[in-house]
Amino acid sequence: MVEIVVSSPAEQEYAEALTWYAQRSPRVAQRFDDDFDQSLRLIAATPERFAKCDARHRFFLMRHFPYQIIYRNDATYLTVVAVAHTSREPEYWQGR
């Protein structure tokens, strides 16, 4: 499995989403956290499997929540550049 590094902006997006769910239901927040962790494991196991956004980035749609994890392969590790809500402005994360 490849190492995954979560960028600061992606970490902030993840934390904001987790907080939003936690304010509504601790159980749902735990499910979001579990889904996120499972998503990272799947990405690390087979990073080339998922669809490309552009020449450098790929994305993974979380199974139970309306978020996609945008990442790039940086030779020896993967970098998560965004944890993007699927209804948010597309490609706002470009340039990261």
Q: How confident is the model at residue 1 (pLDDT cuts 50, 70, 90)?
A: confident
Minimal CA–CA distance to 53: which of 11, 82, 13, 88? 82
Looking at residue 14, its amino acid is: Y
Q: CATH number of the domain that 55 lies in?
A: 3.30.2310.20
Q: Say if residue 89's pLDDT is above 90.
A: no
Is 20 contained in some domain?
Answer: yes
Number of domains the chain is built from: 1
Q: How confident is the model at residue 6 (pLDDT cuts 50, 70, 90)?
A: very high
> Range of 41's domain?
3-85
Q: Say if residue 41's pLDDT is above 90.
A: yes
Q: 83 - beta bridge partners?
A: 69
The predicted pLDDT at position 7 comes to 97
Is 94 contained in some domain?
Answer: no
Is 93 contained in some domain?
Answer: no
DSSP string, 20-36: HHHHH-HHHHHHHHHHH
The predicted pLDDT at position 79 comes to 97
Is 11 contained in some domain?
Answer: yes
pTM: 0.90
DSSP string, the chain: --EEEE-HHHHHHHHHHHHHHHHH-HHHHHHHHHHHHHHHHHHHH-GGGSPBSSSSEEEEE-SSSSEEEEEEE-SSEEEEEEEEETTSPTTTTTT-
In this structure, of 20-29, 47-56, 86-95, the range with the lowest mean pLDDT score is 86-95
